[in-house]
Amino acid sequence: MKLVAVNGSHRGRAGNTAIMVDAFLRGARLAGAETIDICLAEKEIGHCRACKACWFATPGRCVLADDMSGIAQALTGADLWVWATPLYFDNVSSMLKTFIDRLMVFGSPGWTRDEAGECRHHTSLAPTRLMLIANCGYPERSHFQVLSHWLARHARNLGVAVAGEIYASEGALLRDPAEELRPAVAGFLRSVETAGREIAAGLEISAQTREKLAQPFIPAEAYIRGVESYLDALLKKPLPARPAENQSCPSIKQS
Ligand SMILES: Cc1cc2nc3c(=O)[nH]c(=O)nc-3n(C[C@H](O)[C@H](O)[C@H](O)COP(=O)(O)O)c2cc1C
């Protein structure tokens, strides 16, 4: 099985999303998958110009000469595409969305209808399955409602099946959690790895793994108190010339 992950975090490999992607790909490799890990923050990808030259003038070829052509090659023939993103204003990051718009090159002008009679474009390139990994700053999992709904629509538009979705709220704890939170975060990442193994074996994420993935690292009230004291401390200090790369909140502790 060939699996391609595309990480749309603007913080790239230093971000919280990357920690989840790493764990997932580790698990997939344990199940024998060939994995490709693409970080959009390291790429130049221009906005789709909506010129549709890739459909009419030069079918299958985009007018933009940037890193999308290499990514398109990597996506070709993959069994699974994994989109990964931080939640930005209840949606995918703009970097991930810019990349997704460029998937136009795999479509064609003609329409088809799915089993429910809904129209969509023919696509020349579709993996058998698509999944989503995301994390967010707030503690409640309800913040992923839009992403979950969007994933179902996006997969249907592409004509592919949803393989699974993995979400982490309290995302600030993923990188360098306080000592007492390390077991909870490590346990979560082990479950992300298990999900990678299950998916790469051609299965769904098991009910047992999904249940573990849905557990918060820390009760919401303790997380909120920790974020508040972290922000208080930060705002009292003179502002740094540029924000720290590492957004973790070391003051968040189990209480
Ligand atoms: C522009 C922007 C918008 C954000 N919007 C939300 C949001 O709507 N809900 C939320 O819970 N977190 C939001 N966050 C927080 C990020 O989802 C969170 O910090 C996440 O851990 C970042 O992942 P990363 O380190 O991979 O970039 C936002 C952050 C940024 C920079």
- 155-167: pLDDT as tens digits: 999 989 999 999 9
pLDDT in tens, 101-112: 999 999 999 999
Residue 229 lies in a domain: no
Domain that residue 111 falls in: 2-217
Side chain identity at residue 82, one-letter code? V
From 39, 87, 231, mutation site for ligand 1 pocket: most ligand atoms within 8 A of C-beta: 87
Query: Is any ligand 1 atom within 6 A of the Cβ of residue 93?
Result: no
Closest residue by CA, ligand 1 atom 8: 89
- Å from CA of 5 to ligand 1 middle: 19
Q: Tell me the average pLDDT of the chain.
A: 93
- Å from CA of 87 to ligand 1 middle: 5
Instruction: Label residue 82 by pLDDT band (50, 70, 90).
Output: very high
Of 212, 91, 108, the C-alpha closest to 158 is: 108
In this predicted structure, what is the pLDDT of residue 238? 74
Instruction: Label residue 250 by pLDDT band (50, 70, 90).
Output: low
Say yes or no to pLDDT of 128 above 90: no
Q: Which atom of ligand 1 is nearest to the CA of 15?
A: 25
Instruction: Label residue 63 by pLDDT band (50, 70, 90).
Output: very high
Residue 128 lies in a domain: yes
In this predicted structure, what is the pLDDT of residue 123? 83
User: Residue 179 contacts by C-beta under 8 Å, 6 or more apart in sequence?
Assistant: none
Residue 48 lies in a domain: yes
Residue 235 lies in a domain: no
Say yes or no to pLDDT of 239 above 70: no
Q: Domains in the chain: how many in total?
A: 1
Residue 250 lies in a domain: no
Query: Is any ligand 1 atom within 6 A of the Cβ of residue 171?
Result: yes
Of 14, 20, 16, 15, the C-alpha closest to 5 is: 20
Query: Is any ligand 1 atom within 6 A of the Cβ of residue 135?
Result: yes
Rounded to an integer, the average pLDDT of 89-93 is 98
In this predicted structure, what is the pLDDT of residue 246? 55
Side chain identity at residue 60, one-letter code? G
Closest residue by CA, ligand 1 atom 4: 88
First to last CA, the chain: 44
Residue 166 contacts residue 195 (beta carbons within 8 Å): yes
Say yes or no to pLDDT of 51 above 90: yes
**89 is written with which tokens?**
């204003």
Residue 228 lies in a domain: no
Instruction: Label residue 142 by pLDDT band (50, 70, 90).
Output: very high
User: Lowest-pLDDT range, 42-46, 51-55, 218-222, 248-252?
Assistant: 248-252
Residue 37 lies in a domain: yes
From 22, 89, 132, 147, mutation site for ligand 1 pocket: most ligand atoms within 8 A of C-beta: 89
- What CA–CA distance (Å, rounded) separates 112 from 185? 44
Query: Is any ligand 1 atom within 6 A of the Cβ of residue 15?
Result: yes
Rounded to an integer, the average pLDDT of 64-74 is 97
CATH of the domain at 213: 3.40.50.360
Q: Among positive and negative, which fits the CA dihedral 65, 68, 70, 72? A: negative
Residue 29 lies in a domain: yes
In this predicted structure, what is the pLDDT of residue 255? 56
- Å from CA of 242 to ligand 1 middle: 18
pTM for the structure as a whole:
0.94
- Å from CA of 138 to ligand 1 middle: 8
Residue 17 contacts residue 88 (beta carbons within 8 Å): no
Say yes or no to pLDDT of 2 above 80: yes
pLDDT-above-70 percentage for the chain: 92
Query: Is any ligand 1 atom within 6 A of the Cβ of residue 88?
Result: yes
Rounded to an integer, the average pLDDT of 126-151 is 94
